[in-house]
Structure formats: structure tokens, C-alpha cells
A and B are shown apart, each in its own frame.
Chain A
Amino acid sequence: MAHAPVLLSKRALIDRSYLEHRAKVLDLAAFIDRVERASGEDGDDFRMRALQACCALLLDGKPHRAQRVLELLSDQTLDPIAKAGSKGATGAVPPVAGGAR
């Protein structure tokens, strides 16, 4: 890895994109608040737990965060499943699939 260098300086990248990512953090915070305020029993949804694990990963100080977030959200089993029950994907590993978590 690290083929071509990042051509912009740290400062230039931050100047260019800080506000965009500040807004994304606010969206995430507000989303978690909204789910918490909502009625229903699904506070322990596996997708919300996955999001929290991703947030923790961002703070561990190690590189390749995007790759590691995707790995955290990936089914790590190796064998084909017996039958495709649905066509869709959820974006996190459902507890029954025996994934990373």
C-alpha cells in the first residue's frame, strides 16, 4: 500500500473537508438519539451495536480505519449458505450468521 502520496497537506485536507465531516458526526449522533427516543423494543438491534463498535474502532489510533470498519461489518464465514432466503443485505452481520461479532 501507500502507492501515490496524498498530494494535499494535512492542513489543506482539513480546511477542505472538516465541515462536511462535522456534519456527518452530527447526523450520526442525532440518529442514535432518535432511535433512543423512539418507542419499541429494538434498542439492542445488531446494526446499532455494529455502529457503536465502528465508533470505538475509530478511536483506537491505528491506521486503515475504512478497511477495518468494512471488515467489522463483514460476514467472516467461508462456506456458501444452503439457500438464499432473501435478496437483500442489512449492512451488518446478523447474529445468526455467525459473523465477526
Chain B
Amino acid sequence: MYIDPHIHMVSRTTDDYQRMALAGCVAITEPAFWAGYDRSSPQGFHDYFRQLTDTEPKRAAQYGIRHHTWLCINPKEAEDPVFAREVIALIPSFLKCESVLGIGEIGLNKNSRNEVEILEAHLDLAAAHDLMVLVHTPHLEDKLKGTRLIMDAIKNQGRLDPSRVLIDHVEEHTVGIVLERGFWAGMTLYPDTKCTPQRAVDIFEMHGTERLWINSAGDWGQSDPLAVPKAQLEMRARGHTEAAIRKVSFDNPMTFLSQSGRFKIA
């Protein structure tokens, strides 16, 4: 049994839901993200938020998987702050949906001033509605700098409890600083650009299993919706106990997400 707390099912097939269910997936959470192209209007986001809050939960339910979501405009589309603020203004009307857990995945992409401004606007929205936050950290060479800038923005905002914020896509050079500052951290098992299951298990061995989870971040790129069960397999092969495996792939996401008051498994 497992939870994949970060996967973009709008980009995956119904067959993937079936395969995930067969592999033991009981719940997922899907953050709003970049579609691979810039949307031409806020209305495009409105339709996307309907897909996330209405269509996907029904598609997942066919396979006994509980679907939840996080809403935002992703940092890749935050370089136009006027446009981004129009999208942010759409979010409050969706907060009444029971499957919306909070704001995400917000954060930075190229660490630009406009991205920081829109990150701060999202943090204000989360604080105003007492919402949890799921943070995307930048890719590759931009990750370390972006992770520092994001943690500073959250600290400066001052009204968000780090224990209700998960900073995702950590790797060996960022996991320590994220955990030290009281945040939750996510490891993403994604080909080439993020962690492998092997390295994720190394990180558990070096940093422990408190406030850490794993996810696939499966999306429209080459990615693996079964990455979490593959990491379970790697832990088992390396002699970790069933309790430890369950902790990182089920108990930890359950503990973090339950703080929303809205997270349920099927």
C-alpha cells in the first residue's frame, strides 16, 4: 500500500491509474503545474482547475484511488505578474472543493524577481486562508539557489508554519537545509533530472525518515508513475524493514497531508 503525493495525472492515461492501483496505490495528490506550453488566458487555468477538482477525482475513483489537488499558477508561467495575479484571483472560488488541500506547486523556476513576487503572492493567499503549501524547487543548477530563496520568502512572510509546508524535489545538496529549518521535504524519483530510487534510499539512510516522503512527479515528460513502488522494492532489497518502507511511502504522507483536515484514503 502506498500514497503518491505528487503526480500529474492529467498528463497520464487511465491505464496508469489501473497499474498504480495494482501496485498498491490508494491515494494521490496532484499539484497544479505547467502544461508544457503557456496558457493564453486565465480562463485556461479556470478550466484546468475544474479538471483537477472534478474530472480527475472521478477518473481515480474508478480504481479505488482517492484524488486530491493543490492549486496555483506554476512558476514557469509567473514571469508575467499581471497575468499571474489574475490566475491567483481565481483560486479562492475553488477552495470550497473538499479535495483541495492547499496551494501548490508554487516556488521558483529560474529564480527571477517576478517569480519571487508571485511566490510571495501565493504565500499570502495560503496564509490568509490558513492553507498548507506544496513547494516546487527549481531544476538542476538553479535548485540550490532557488531552495534558499524560497525558504527565505516563507520565513519573511512570517505567518506560515514550516511544519505545514513541504519543499519538494530535494536532493543530496538541499535535503539537509530544508529539514534543518523545520520543513517537510519530498524526494522526487524522476529520470535524469532528479533522484533515482537508489539515491532516495541513500538519503533515508543518511538523513533518517522523519518529515520526508517520496513521489514520482509523473507528468507529460518521460517519467514513471510506478516510481514509488520501485523505491519500496529498493528499500526491501537493501534490508530495510516493512515498517520503514511503510513509514516513508504511506505513514509520512498521511501525517503531513492530514494536517489539511481534508486528506482521506479510499
Contact = CB atoms under 8 A, between A and B. Distances in A.
A and B found bound together: yes
Interface of A: 1-8, 16-17, 64, 66-67, 70-71, 73-78, 80-93, 97, 99
B145 A75 contact: yes
A74 B147 CA distance: 11
B163 interface: no
B116 interface: yes
A82 B115 CA distance: 10
Contacts of B122: none
Contact of B206 (A2, A74, A86): A2
Contact of A75 (B112, B141, B240): B141
A5 B114 CA distance: 43
Given A80-B149, A87-B34, 7 more contacts: A7-B238, A70-B143, A80-B113, A80-B116, A82-B113, A84-B109, A87-B110
Contact of B141 (A85, A86, A92): A92
Contacts of A7: 238-240
A71 B174 CA distance: 9
Given A3-B207, A81-B110, A66 B142 contact: no
Nearest to A64: B172
B221 interface: no
B112 A67 contact: no
A80 B109 CA distance: 11
Contacts of A85: 110
B148 A71 contact: no
Given A3-B207, A80-B113, A84-B112, A8 B239 contact: yes
B173 A8 contact: no
A78 B205 CA distance: 30
A8 B171 CA distance: 22
Given A2-B206, A82-B112, A82-B113, A74 B145 contact: yes
B115 A5 contact: no
Interface in B187-219: 193, 198-199, 202, 204-209
Nearest to A77: B145
B245 to A, nearest CB: 12
Contact of A74 (B114, B116, B173): B173
B38 to A, nearest CB: 9
Given A67-B173, A87-B110, A89-B138, A80 B206 contact: no
A7 B204 CA distance: 12
Nearest to A94: B141
A16 B208 CA distance: 23
Contact of A93 (B141, B206, B208): B141
Interface in B20-60: 34
Contacts of B138: 89
Contacts of A75: 111, 141-142, 144-145
Contact of A81 (B113, B205, B209): B113
Given A67-B172, A70-B172, A84-B112, A3 B144 contact: no
Interface string B244-262: 1000000000000000000
A67 B195 CA distance: 12
